[in-house]
């Protein structure tokens, strides 16, 4: 999508295009470290070139008018800056509304409303964070339009709060952080307990990052996401009964040895498996970044596969479609590693594939996946994209 096209579309919907500015925020793909962010563990996501665009302009009055090119049949959705309420039927606009609500809670008074036309090229409900993308997009647009002072990490935290409090999804910080802090050709190694982070260059020599969209839709709110989170909290409470673990704050504080010595305190078999995933996945993420830093891409790939298996067997968030993708992809020639990415329950897989095998990979996986599930997968060979920005 170009700036010019966004402005043209804006003009068609809102009459004129004087004073319109255009912003972009990426989506993200998580390479490893899944369901660790609300357990105080490490994650390793990166921004992707696909994302969400906004053409936006302040109004004179207090109206806010939203329009999405992806859902143009819904027409203009209208609200007022001093009357922001979650409304299920307002659907995607609840994300920007939630962000503005949080900005207002910082004590910032908006002098007027605005009109905002949005377009996204991220497949929606696919685990590539279209919701965090639109949150960060809104926050950046507000910062620039209204001269608000807010750094990138604070932007991420504000957007997460908007999603937790306004939209009722108890997500961790990974998505908003990865998007607000995205950097071209780098993944972000983030310790979610401290928010310490490091950019790690993703220089893949003759290897492609391929995202496969299962086209099995995933709704975070309606999924078992909040349930998993609660199961981990219960497991933490139980293991803290042990003297050795009494002082830990999160499952991410546990080494594998500590966990193995004390796991019998978690008396519920399901919660034990959830905790095992959280502890081992955190370690896998640490090892994976070490491996990448040492140019050991094979090891990185192997850890990706182990991550999928743990998400399938211990965390139980993969589902038939993502497992069908894994089964097909993990055995293909040229595949270094592959796993589901994001919350799970449908959505996308991420794979590292040797360049010369990418075409064959797409052709064969596509056939096998459709044969098994009846669904048609979409493939996106991608590079690592940059962070949110204004289009000049
Ligand atoms: C969703 C959430 C993130 C994270 C992932 C799973 O994307 O928004 O905070 O928990 O699921 O790793």
In the chain, what are the domain boundaries? Answer: 3-202+386-390
The pLDDT tens digits of the residues spanning 306-361 come to: 999 999 999 999 999 999 999 999 999 999 999 999 999 899 999 999 999 999 99
Query: Which atom of ligand 1 approaches the CA of 129 most closely?
Result: 7
Locate 56 and state its tokens. Answer: 């936006």
Locate 264 and state its tokens. Answer: 């019998």
Mean pLDDT of all residues in the chain?
Answer: 95
The pLDDT tens digits of the residues spanning 196-232 come to: 999 999 988 899 999 999 998 765 445 688 899 999 9
- Tokens 């470290």 sit on residue: 33
Which residues make Cβ contacts (< 8 Å) with residue 363, sequence separation at least 6?
none
Question: How many whole angstroms separate alpha carbon 330 and alpha carbon 351?
Answer: 9
Locate 158 and state its tokens. Answer: 């504000």
Nearest of 94, 110, 192, 194 to residue 148 by alpha carbon? 110
Residue nearest to atom 9 of ligand 1 (CA): 172
From 78-92, 137-151, 218-232, 331-345, the region with the lowest mean pLDDT: 218-232
Ligand 1, CB cutoff 6 Å, lining residues: 34-35, 37-38, 171-172, 174-175, 342-343
What is the pTM for the complete model shown? 0.95
Catalytic residue flag (residue 175): yes
In the structure, what pLDDT confidence band is assigned to residue 276 with cuts at 50, 70 and 90?
A: very high
Q: How far is the CA of 61 from the centre of ligand 1 (A)?
A: 37
Question: How many whole angstroms separate alpha carbon 350 and alpha carbon 342?
Answer: 10
CA dihedral in degrees (167, 172, 174, 176; nearest 10)? Answer: 30
Which CATH fold topology does 3-202+386-390 show? Ribosomal Protein S5; domain 2 (3.30.230)
The pLDDT tens digits of the residues spanning 177-194 come to: 999 999 999 999 999 999
Q: Which of 175, 191, 314, 323 is catalytic?
A: 175
Please check whether residue 53 is in contact with residue 3, taking contact to mean a CB–CB distance below 8 angstroms. Answer: no
Nearest of 227, 273, 276, 268 to residue 251 by alpha carbon? 276
List, as one string, the DSSP characters of 309-335. HHHHHTS---HHHHHHHHHHHHTSTTE
Q: Using CB atoms within 10 Å of the CB of residue 82, give its burial: 0 to 12 exposed, 13 to 18 middle, 19+ buried.
A: exposed
pLDDT value, residue 124? 73
């Amino acid at each position: 999508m170009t700036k010019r096209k966004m402005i043209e579309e804006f003009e068609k919907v809102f009459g004129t295009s004087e004073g319109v500015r255009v912003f972009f925020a990426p989506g993200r793909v998580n390479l490893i470290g899944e369901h660790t962010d609300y357990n105080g563990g490490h994650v390793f996501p990166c921004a992707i070139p696909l994302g969400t665009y906004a053409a936006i302009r302040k109004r004179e009055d207090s109206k806010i008018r939203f329009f999405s090119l992806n859902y143009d049949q819904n027409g203009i959705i209208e609200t007022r800056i001093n009357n922001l309420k979650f409304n299920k039927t307002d659907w995607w606009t609840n994300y920007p509304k939630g962000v503005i609500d949080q900005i207002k809670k910082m004590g910032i008074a908006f002098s007027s409303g605005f009109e905002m036309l949005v377009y996204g090229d991220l497949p929606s409900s696919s685990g590539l964070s279209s919701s965090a993308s639109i949150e960060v997009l809104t926050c950046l647009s507000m910062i620039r339009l209204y001269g608000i002072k807010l750094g990138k990490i604070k932007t991420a935290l504000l957007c997460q709060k908007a999603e937790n409090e306004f939209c009722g999804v108890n997500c961790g910080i990974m998505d908003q952080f990865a998007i607000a802090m995205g950097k071209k050709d780098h993944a972000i190694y983030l310790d979610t307990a401290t928010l310490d982070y490091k950019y790690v260059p993703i220089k893949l020599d003759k290897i492609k990052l391929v995202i496969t969209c299962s086209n099995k839709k995933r709704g975070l709110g309606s999924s078992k996401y909040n349930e998993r989170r609660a199961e981990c909290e219960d497991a933490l409470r139980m293991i803290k009964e042990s003297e050795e673990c009494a002082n830990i704050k999160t499952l991410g504080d546990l080494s594998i040895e500590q966990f193995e010595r004390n796991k019998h305190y978690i008396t519920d078999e399901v919660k034990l498996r959830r905790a095992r995933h959280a502890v081992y996945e955190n370690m896998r993420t640490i090892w994976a970044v070490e491996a990448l830093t040492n140019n050991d891409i094979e090891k990185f790939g192997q850890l990706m596969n182990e991550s999928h298996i743990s998400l399938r067997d211990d965390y139980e968030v993969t589902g038939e479609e993502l497992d069908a993708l894994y089964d097909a992809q993990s055995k293909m020639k040229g595949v270094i590693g592959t796993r589901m990415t994001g919350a799970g329950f449908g959505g996308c897989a991420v794979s590292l594939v040797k360049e010369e095998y990418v075409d064959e990979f797409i052709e064969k996986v596509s056939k096998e996946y459709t044969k098994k599930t009846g669904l048609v997968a979409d493939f996106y060979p991608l590079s690592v994209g940059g962070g949110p920005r204004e289009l000049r």
